[in-house]
Structure 1
């Protein structure tokens, strides 16, 4: 997701409220003040709070369940409550460390089903052949229809070396049971290589797997290193990149774009903010970006920015289509709240939510093993190389 990290505290003046009621009121006020849809899913938001507060709240778990019920009425899978453990886990994830099976997941807003956005490169999930858009039917025999997004993620996490069993549903195929051994997953977000073509060109291949806090600095180092090695063009691979921090996406766009709008953000008042590129890019060499159905959120912000500004050509398949931005709020008891606060539009004001970004050159691809990515077996990568060769010929003829 495109995530903005925010930390707010709210005081509670109503001393008559219990601690449990205060936490519910805290959540209600954050949503009331920041949520993108000011109709709150066409309901009286104050009435929702009143009904929740009228019910007895015996303990913390009952309070958390009441908050989840309140948020569920918004019918927005991205606005969700995180208990203290889930909140800490999300903070760790965006910081660049993870232990688990290596799946980025989301609830499909239309079907409500738990979907795979993308497996993390080198993870147990990727090695088992799990693909973007696969649906997770059960986790350890528990139907995911009964689980929130964070409950599902929590059930897939566990001690290093332990086993979790999933049932996976894929379009046009029978359901499949998969056993995954949990492991510590490296979240170094950048893979950088210098590839030599048959025509003697030096292509800098950069694969970005997610937009965590380390991504802008790591990618800048990789570009500088490839420039010193003589790269004369670039392929940026955003396939199966589920996104991450909005600010990371903006900073990475500035590495490639000397000037221009990167993204517009639109809040519930319709007020548009924007992030701009300024200064100088690290390289002006030709750039092709690889995208597919697993390219989502902050990845789409980056791809859309460079496509709309004419800085890059997109090759592959239509992207995932997540154009909403969440902000993360820390609550008074150490739990957290993710709230959809805005939507984003590309520099040419395209709203891609549930639509995605169509590449300039559509190239479909069969599932690849990790060793096949960016090789002769990778049709999308080969199409990018051909496009760069054609661009270089045109430039040379000028």
Structure 2
């Protein structure tokens, strides 16, 4: 999958609450055209995109032709009336991930193309069953992260306004704002309700952090990947090459709390670890599968353990699923989020935008992880107290032997390194 001026394909189905310029992708190019579309033409443009691309050819049992007739028979005196009809039209699909964004919402949509954003730094989604707004994951070292927001938190109120019936676009409009201003989130976690007051900020994001770790298993390369942005592949390549030059014995790749991002980024990174084999297949409504495979250019074949948890979603699941199915890595942690859908983000003629679900993705073994997630090879659950200690209060313990999931990863990789050494000696 590639980014083009007509669409941006995302592995994630979520919205990151931030403000970011997206003109670098040419994503506003059509909205800036000399031709100005009428409100009714925008309604029809949205209908046509769904008609051509939506993943389900039955449109979730909706008579899509009748929908077109209904909404194009109306008169629209201004764009706002058209936008209201578009939202009503899309709501009939009962798919929270196929959504319309007015020009302001589209402009402020985080598409992970820059190293800097303004916001609180959380990625949210709408639960398909309960329709509640759910946090996929906070971005590490952001205001939301520091305030104590955790994956799977349910957002009940934003600045005391109930989120019942609210979609992700409406939530974004309420949560985003100027750097230095404050937003209040009322969240529900494990049956308990708490209020978090969070100050918005300008956030610089580097998707990859890495270091050497001296452990009982030897000198290891530790790589933490926070999100699959456009520059994540380049930073991952730098990390692996640098750690290879330092003769590490193996790697621990940390995908905990990684909400996903760009599909091509996950494929690009998978190819750095897998030399041969299938990575992912995406299946559109015609049943045509587009397969992505390794290209024989892996940067290392050293033992690898991947850390995952319930905040590892979408593109994280593509990467961890590929590594697991190809027996390239052992997964340690807890079940992942379960996001197996692909969206295409499209600019519309008037500068607004549409995210439409276009495909399901499957792991190399043909597993559809939507709603199910990926089960780790070695399960290590953290208690609520352990999670808060590691991720909120005593961050210096994260990725140390005082981190139970990391400690287990070290134990597992120690055995893999020893086994590889024995196999080499026997040759």
Q: What TM-score bracket applies, with the shorter chain setting the length?
A: over 0.9
Does the CA contact (< 8 Å) of 1:314 and 1:360 recur in 2?
yes
- Where structure 2 has 5 or more consecutive residues not aligned to the other structure, the ranges are 1-9, 14-24, 31-36
Query: Under a length normalisation based on structure 1, what TM-score does the superposition of the two structures give?
Result: 0.94
Equivalent residue number for residue 166 of structure 1 = 185
SS in 2 for 1:205: strand
How far has the Cα of 1:9 moved from its partner?
A: 9.7
Equivalent residue number for residue 163 of structure 2 = 144
- How is 1:1-398 mapped onto 2 (pairs within 5 angstroms)? 2=11, 19-90=38-109, 93-173=112-192, 175-198=193-216, 201-365=218-382, 366-367=386-387, 368-369=390-391, 370-398=395-423
Distance in 2 between residues matched to 1:96 and 1:250, nearest whole Å: 20
SS in 2 for 1:102: strand
Distance in 1 between residues matched to 2:244 and 2:175, nearest whole Å: 40
Equivalent residue number for residue 13 of structure 1 = none
How far has the Cα of 1:53 moved from its partner?
A: 2.4
Going from structure 1 to structure 2, the CA distance change for 1:209 and 1:311 (only over 3 Å counts) comes to same
* 87-96 vs 65-74, which moves further: 87-96
How far has the Cα of 1:19 moved from its partner?
A: 1.0
Distance in 1 between residues matched to 2:28 and 2:56, nearest whole Å: 20
Distance in 2 between residues matched to 1:296 and 1:110, nearest whole Å: 18
Does the CA contact (< 8 Å) of 1:6 and 1:329 recur in 2?
no
Distance in 2 between residues matched to 1:164 and 1:325, nearest whole Å: 30
Q: C-alpha root-mean-square deviation of aligned residues, in Å?
A: 1.9
- Where structure 1 has 5 or more consecutive residues not aligned to the other structure, the ranges are 11-17
Distance in 1 between residues matched to 2:143 and 2:325, nearest whole Å: 36
How far has the Cα of 1:94 moved from its partner?
A: 3.5
Does the CA contact (< 8 Å) of 1:92 and 1:98 recur in 2?
no
Does the CA contact (< 8 Å) of 2:28 and 2:351 recur in 1?
no
Does the CA contact (< 8 Å) of 2:216 and 2:410 recur in 1?
no
SS in 1 for 2:164: helix
Distance in 2 between residues matched to 1:98 and 1:154, nearest whole Å: 15
How far has the Cα of 1:6 moved from its partner?
A: 10
Distance in 1 between residues matched to 2:66 and 2:203, nearest whole Å: 44
> CA offsets per residue over residues 321-348 of structure 1, 9 Å max, x none?
0000001111001111111000000000
Distance in 2 between residues matched to 1:6 and 1:158, nearest whole Å: 24
* 343-352 vs 271-280, which moves further: 271-280
Going from structure 1 to structure 2, the CA distance change for 1:347 and 1:383 (only over 3 Å counts) comes to same
Query: Under a length normalisation based on structure 2, what TM-score does the superposition of the two structures give?
Result: 0.88
SS in 1 for 2:370: coil
SS in 2 for 1:94: coil
Equivalent residue number for residue 17 of structure 2 = none
The count of residues paired between Structure 1 and Structure 2 equals 390
SS in 2 for 1:116: strand
* 303-312 vs 388-397, which moves further: 388-397
Going from structure 1 to structure 2, the CA distance change for 1:362 and 1:110 (only over 3 Å counts) comes to same
How far has the Cα of 1:92 moved from its partner?
A: 5.2
SS in 2 for 1:55: coil
